Amino acid sequence: MKTTCHFVASFLLWFAAVASSSCTNSQTSNSAQGVIAIERVSVIPMNSERVLGSQTVIVRNGRIDKIGSDKSVDIPDDALRIDGTGKYLIPGLSDMHAHARRTEGYRPEDYLHQGVTVVRNMQGISAHITYRDNALENGAVFRTAGQALAGYKISDNHRIITDPQEGRVAVREQVAAGYDYIKVYSFLTLDVYNAILDEAKMLGIPVVGHVSDNVRSLHAIASGQSSFEHLYGYFWDLEAEASAIKDQWVPRRLFHAVEIDDHKLEGIARKTAAAGVWNCPTLWRKDNHLTSPLAREAWNDPELRELGHSNRMKLVKALHEAGAGLLSGTDDKAHRIHDELALFVEAGLTPYETLKIATVNAAVYLDMENEIGTIEIGKRANLVLLAANPLDNIENTRTIVGVMAGGNWLPSSE
């Protein structure tokens, strides 16, 4: 109850932060019902790889009303004017693997300060459904899964499912409660997993989450799981048959430290793309996964650590080249989104391709292309103002001057 109350207070504080007008200078927070003009800014619209220089963007009632060259756009007299000289405007970023209750110190407003206006919560409680609806009204986007369905108790937050009928009941209950996704977790038996996927399909709710060792990637792809988290499940199917280390230590696969068959890699990437399965790799989290004794043991071995890292980079690049959908997610605190984007570039994607994952791809996955993901007239004014060009260097997503969610302006100084 203490954690839940803390979240409620924090969530209200988030919206108070973006709606408040407590500061006195000309670039303070302002209600989405007013008019805001961002002047002399370079716009990166993300509907193609380009930069539109010396633009003025007018936001009215929480939506983008006008975009044009400084000389062609008239600014209303009552507009809040934001100087974009030398700065770059991008769509709001997304964290598609967040945990709203992970720590006592979780503060939803921290996401806005990191440029994140889209959050997919991967394990929810009933209050999150209210948060989702409030976020919608205030311009941000919040989606939530229900309680994770697991085959073995790792956390008190998991619901243990050991019987196929129990799995079907759990799906029906979460659908009735109003959750957006069913999250499957580790250690589910194959018959339980199949029952959950079948029931979810009949009820029209997407299934997201882990791919258990009992299930593996090829079966999960064929079963219609909507998104895979952490790249789990793939490495059982990718391991080379002739690998000298294949039978040395089974948990190596959990940390992706296996010898990969490159032919298998290309084939599985193509199958993933053809099935429309999305992946949220949480690359930073896997590189720094020290939450269990087993993980600490593996990560203290430099050879295993480097092999796992290298394999994740190879798989992400293969999925991207095959046309499979990728999503940006932290499985950690909000500021880690920038580390995650840097790792996509390390995997071989360009800064534009990486930025597209964090903006356009989230919109496509959420079926919200007409609302978010690009800077275009009529879309929600979910925007991030940067001091430097992220297409030159993805690290420049850290240079946040201010963030807008649904037309609510939050300078980075607040």
Tell me, what's the pLDDT at 409?
A: 94
C-alpha span between 233 and 211 (Å, rounded) = 5
In the DSSP assignment, the letter for residue 395 is G
Among candidate residues 367, 390, 385, the one with its CA nearest the CA of residue 375: 385
Q: Are residues 174 and 271 in the same domain?
A: yes
Q: What is the pLDDT of residues 144-166, one digit of tens each?
A: 999 999 998 877 789 999 999 99
Tell me how far apart the alpha carbons of residues 233 and 220 are, in angstroms, rounded to a whole number: 8
Candidate from 16-20, 94-98, 308-312 with smallest mean pLDDT: 16-20
On whether both 59 and 148 belong to a single domain, the answer is no
Q: List, for residues 264-307, the tens digit of each pLDDT value.
A: 999 999 999 999 999 999 998 876 765 566 666 666 777 777 88
**What single string gives the DSSP state of each residue in 140-187?**
-EEEEB-S-EESS-SSTTPEE--SHHHHHHHHHHHHHHT-SBEEE-TT
Check residue 20 and give its pLDDT: 39
What is the pLDDT, as a whole number, of residue 126?
86
Domain CATH for 213: 3.20.20.140
Instruction: Specify the pLDDT at position 110.
Output: 85
Q: What is the pTM of this model?
A: 0.89
Give the angle 320-324-329 at the CA atoms, nearest 5°.
Answer: 80
pLDDT of residue 406 exceeding 80, the answer is: yes
- 243 shares a domain with 148: yes
For residues 42-49, average pLDDT? 98
Mean pLDDT computed over 333-338? 94
Please tell me whether residues 301 and 402 are part of one structural domain: no
Q: Is the same domain home to 62 and 139? A: no
Same domain flag for 84 and 128: no
- Give the C-alpha distances (Å, rounded to integers) separating 285 from 38, 230, 251, 255, 289: 35, 8, 17, 11, 6
Closest by alpha carbon to 277, among 204, 213, 217, 318? Answer: 217
Least confident of 55-64, 132-141, 286-295: 286-295
Q: What is the mean pLDDT of the segment spanning 12-40?
A: 55
pLDDT score recorded for residue 239: 87
Spell out where 61-134 has E strands: 63-69, 80-83, 88-91, 93-98, 116-121
Residue 22 pLDDT level (bands cut at 50, 70, 90): very low
What is the rounded average pLDDT for all residues in the chain? 87
70 and 211 housed in the same domain? no
Count of structural domains within the chain: 2
Reported confidence tier of residue 29, pLDDT bands at 50, 70, 90: very low
Predicted confidence (pLDDT) per residue in 179-228, tens digit? 999 999 989 999 999 999 999 999 999 999 999 989 999 999 999 999 99
Residue 184 and residue 64 in one domain: no
Same domain, 56 and 145: no
pLDDT for res 188: 96
The pLDDT assigned to 295 comes to 64
Residues 103 and 70 in one domain: no
* Residues 169-187: tens digit of each pLDDT: 999 999 999 999 999 998 9
Does 342 lie in the same domain as 200?
A: yes
Based on the fold, state whether residues 324 and 271 are members of the same structural domain: yes
- Per-residue pLDDT averaged across 96-119, rounded? 80
- What domain range includes position 195? 99-107+114-365
Q: What is the mean pLDDT of residues 365-379?
A: 98
pLDDT band at 414 (very low <50, low <70, confident <90, very high): low
CATH code, 70: 2.30.40.10
Q: What are the beta bridge partners of residue 33?
A: none
